Structure 1
């Protein structure tokens, strides 16, 4: 790699990347962003395609397998037999199958994408197998408690949402005039989920997102995570792919070079209405052993 990176910064064995910036002192300082005590969820709902009209109601990338949600009443629907839980008592269980990437609010692990034979920090890529990643999996991340910094780009431009071909530049981020501290979570709104409610076809026509220079701007400021309401942090074309070169690909820049985690497909409209630009950000991925990512329910404490 010719570019700067965080390989070796926290030791040769490190698998947590930029989350190492969340020292006790940084977390205590982040708690100082709580001034109102209001709590907002930043997550889209998980709606199973087996139990609701999810293909028409929840934003998702075209062709990705939607969540499957099965309900069991007294264990009779998908479990063997019923459960004896006492006379007169009723019980319902859930079985949920989720492919996080592209279908719901989620957090990418550092093993999600790489180049060549190495994951982040030089860990061997052959440790990512069908049974899970033994290096840099989502189980290595742990809870994220940090200061959130909100870049509401549509509001700054005076539009409901960005256009599909829009790319957020470093100058756009600079013009927001927000202080970014080491260990912060940069939360970037494009407003693109609103396009879904015009039509799925509009949502699938492409997506706005960060440009490579904006990604480098954030990485230089030592953020621990970048979170956005689009599906890939970067913009997407009409084929739902990225047009950037390998050098400028934001998954490579953030996950692979800098160990900066990504959270995608957030719901940021309520946060936008709050007018707050800093807050306490909370998110905890499921401890999926060797997972490439996990559904999350990010929370903003205002």
Structure 2
């Protein structure tokens, strides 16, 4: 691990939740006060073949296992005429929908966050730092609407957000969630072939700025928190990779590919943020539907 400030050992040698430990009952109750109108806004992108996704990741597969056409073709109703519809969903945890990364998702060397052995990540899942360790996330969120701040529809593909840009919009404190809008999902609507790469994102300096402020999580509407180059890869040196800075060193969970366009008009400076991943044993990530309660 790079010798820089980190949270290894801070919450105990067995810790697998990182800065989610900062969400004490008192902080959660204080966060409830940020909801003022009671309006609920979903921050999840739609799941489907025509929704934003990265190249090389399988598109979500949604199909019906039984539907109205089956009964029209002669399937016998259940019991006294009861008919039903049922469906199935196959979705990649990363790169195809709004999701939350587990602390086991990325690491360097032979150790996960907090020194847990990387050998504990097996073909059937992670025995340490999996998404099943998260539980629920209820916190005060600070909204960094960078395109509106710059009076543009979306950030340019090569833009890397600096800490000074975040500080111009708002400060943030321990246990908060940083919700960062780049506007990049608009590119999918305009020209899907341009969406995957390159993409704008946080700079390494901005990631460290957020880590220094003890945020509980970082949520962004792009695909990788940091920026992507033309090949769809992070374009910073390995030691400056945002996943290593935030997930691996500081235990800060990441939420990616949010849909934040519906927050532009109400433009809340802060709001109540609620999200819960699937309780997927040993999962490296999970689809989520984050909610903003204004």
| TM class, shorter-length | over 0.9
Q: How far has the Cα of 1:204 moved from its partner?
A: 2.6
**Structure 1 position 242 matched with structure 2 position 242:** no
Map 1:39-54 onto structure 2 (within 5 A). Answer: 39-47=40-48, 54=49
Q: 1:284: which partner in 2?
A: 276
**Structure 1 position 202 matched with structure 2 position 194:** yes
Please say which of residues 5-14 and 198-207 is displaced more in the overlay. 198-207
Q: How far has the Cα of 1:202 moved from its partner?
A: 1.7
Question: In 2, are the aligned partners of 1:151 and 1:186 still within 8 Å (CA)?
Answer: yes
**Structure 1 position 27 matched with structure 2 position 28:** yes
Separation in 2, partners of 1:205, 1:10: 37
Q: 1:122: which partner in 2?
A: 115
Separation in 2, partners of 1:15, 1:8: 10
Question: In 2, are the aligned partners of 1:75 and 1:93 still within 8 Å (CA)?
Answer: no
Separation in 2, partners of 1:137, 1:72: 30
Q: 1:131: which partner in 2?
A: 124
Separation in 2, partners of 1:66, 1:279: 32
Map 1:204-219 onto structure 2 (within 5 A). Answer: 204-219=196-211
Separation in 1, partners of 2:97, 2:67: 28
Where do 5+ consecutive residues of structure 1 fail to align? 48-53
Q: 2:154: which partner in 1?
A: 161
Aligned to 2:264, the other structure's residue is in SS state helix
Question: In 2, are the aligned partners of 1:74 and 1:83 still within 8 Å (CA)?
Answer: no
Question: In 2, are the aligned partners of 1:162 and 1:192 still within 8 Å (CA)?
Answer: yes
Question: In 2, are the aligned partners of 1:183 and 1:224 still within 8 Å (CA)?
Answer: yes
Q: How far has the Cα of 1:87 moved from its partner?
A: 2.2
Where do 5+ consecutive residues of structure 2 fail to align? none
Provide Cα deviations, 1:188-240, integer angstroms capped at 9, x if missing partner: 00000000111112213410000000000000000010000000000001111
Q: How far has the Cα of 1:23 moved from its partner?
A: 0.1
Q: How far has the Cα of 1:272 moved from its partner?
A: 1.5
Q: How far has the Cα of 1:122 moved from its partner?
A: 0.1
Map 1:180-199 onto structure 2 (within 5 A). Answer: 180-199=172-191
**Structure 1 position 293 matched with structure 2 position 294:** no
Separation in 2, partners of 1:75, 1:13: 51
Separation in 2, partners of 1:102, 1:252: 18
Question: In 2, are the aligned partners of 1:110 and 1:119 still within 8 Å (CA)?
Answer: yes
Aligned to 1:195, the other structure's residue is in SS state helix
Q: How far has the Cα of 1:179 moved from its partner?
A: 3.2
**Structure 1 position 253 matched with structure 2 position 257:** no
Number of aligned residues: 289
**Structure 1 position 145 matched with structure 2 position 138:** yes
**Structure 1 position 38 matched with structure 2 position 39:** yes
Map 1:220-231 onto structure 2 (within 5 A). Answer: 220-231=212-223
1:202 and 1:85, CA in 2 relative to 1: closer, same or farther beyond 3 A? same
Aligned to 1:273, the other structure's residue is in SS state coil
Separation in 2, partners of 1:264, 1:85: 42
1:75 and 1:6, CA in 2 relative to 1: closer, same or farther beyond 3 A? farther
Which residue among 53, 59, 84 is the counterpart of 1:60? 53
Separation in 1, partners of 2:76, 2:119: 43
Separation in 2, partners of 1:205, 1:214: 21
Q: How far has the Cα of 1:83 moved from its partner?
A: 8.6
Q: How far has the Cα of 1:62 moved from its partner?
A: 1.0
Question: In 1, are the aligned partners of 2:77 and 2:83 still within 8 Å (CA)?
Answer: no
